[in-house]
Amino acid sequence: KQEVTQIPAALSVPEGENLVLNCSFTDSAIYNLQWFRQDPGKGLTSLLLIQSSQREQTSGRLNASLDKSSGRSTLYIAASQPGDSATYLCAVSGNQFYFGTGTSLTVIP
Amino acid sequence: GAVVSQHPSRVICKSGTSVKIECRSLDFQATTMFWYRQFPKQSLMLMATSNEGSKATYEQGVEKDKFLINHASLTLSTLTVTSAHPEDSSFYICSAPRSRGADTQYFGPGTRLTVL
């Protein structure tokens, strides 16, 4: 059974810092990996999608990488802003979705 | 164990028929549930927010008359795809926050819909 782990569980940084969120998964047989943002009480917002054949995707200040063989993905956020404060989830897609437990990010003004 | 279930896990139907997908919270009450869909090779996207006892809130571009959402109880939300067409073939997944405004959400295992 696929297991998805996110480290750290919580992270607090001052505004302007670059940061990295980590996601690891146990079964490399995946179709794709996605990163989501979750605000309290709200639905998920898709940030980046990496197909299994891809190594990375970029959108604005966000960059996500995928190393399928080692079962790892990272989400890099450049020049963090207070508005980036949220919980970030990664999910891998095989026959079904497997979500990580999330990293709660707080960016301090 | 799973705290959010979906039924069915897979469904194949003919074009023009309607399909109902159930999302249940198993050991907690969910006043809000979220419905998502993922087309092949695309991101999982939020479709709508299901609110117990009131109308669902749909995301832009999602037809509310085609995707009927009913959240009649605190443990059950249903998504009905009416007059399904092949382009509706997708993976549908629901989620529910543990409590109102909670950070923690639980996700159902998803329903794969194939419309022939």
Segment B21-25 mean pLDDT: 96
Is A75:A35 a contact under the CB 8 Å cutoff? yes
What local confidence, expressed as pLDDT, does residue B103 receive?
59
Residue, of A76 and B98, whose pLDDT is higher = A76
What local confidence, expressed as pLDDT, does residue B1 receive?
53
Angle at B15 between CA B14 and CA B19, to 5 degrees: 70
Q: Where are the alpha helices (DSSP H) in A1-109?
A: none
Interface test with B, best of A2, A89, A97, A105 (most B CBs within 10 A): A97
Segment B60-65 mean pLDDT: 93
HSE of B39, CA atoms in CB hemisphere, 13 A: 5
Given B43, B46, B102, which is nearest A40 (Cβ)? B102
pLDDT of B68 strictly over 70: yes
The string of DSSP codes covering B59-114 is PTT--TTTEEEEEEETTEEEEEE-S--GGG-EEEEEEEESSTT-S-EEE---EEEE
The residues near B40 (Cβ < 8 Å, ≥ 6 apart) are none
**SS3 call for A84:** helix
Rg (CA), chain B: 13
List the one residue out of A62, A48, A58, A53 whose CA is nearest residue A90.
A48
The pLDDT tens digits for A26-41 are 999 888 899 999 887 7
Mean pLDDT lowest for which of A9-13, A28-32, A66-70, B13-17?
A28-32
Partners of A35 in the beta sheet?
A: A48, A90
DSSP-derived secondary structure letter, B50: E
Q: Which residues of A touch B102 (CB under 8 A)?
A: 40-41
Angular region, A41: left φ>0, alpha ψ -120 to 50, beta rest? left
Q: Which residues of A touch B34 (CB under 8 A)?
A: 43-44
Residue of chain A with shortest Cα separation from B44: A46
Given B43, B105, B109, which is nearest A38 (Cβ)? B105
- Residue A99: pLDDT band (50, 70, 90) is confident
- Residue B28: pLDDT band (50, 70, 90) is confident
Segment A90-109 mean pLDDT: 87
Is B27:B75 a contact under the CB 8 Å cutoff? no
Q: Which residues of B touch A93 (CB under 8 A)?
A: 38, 44
Segment B81-93 mean pLDDT: 95
Is B51:B96 a contact under the CB 8 Å cutoff? no
Q: CA of A39: how far to CAs of A90, B84, B88, B101, B103, in Å?
A: 14, 32, 28, 9, 7
pLDDT of A65 strictly over 90: yes
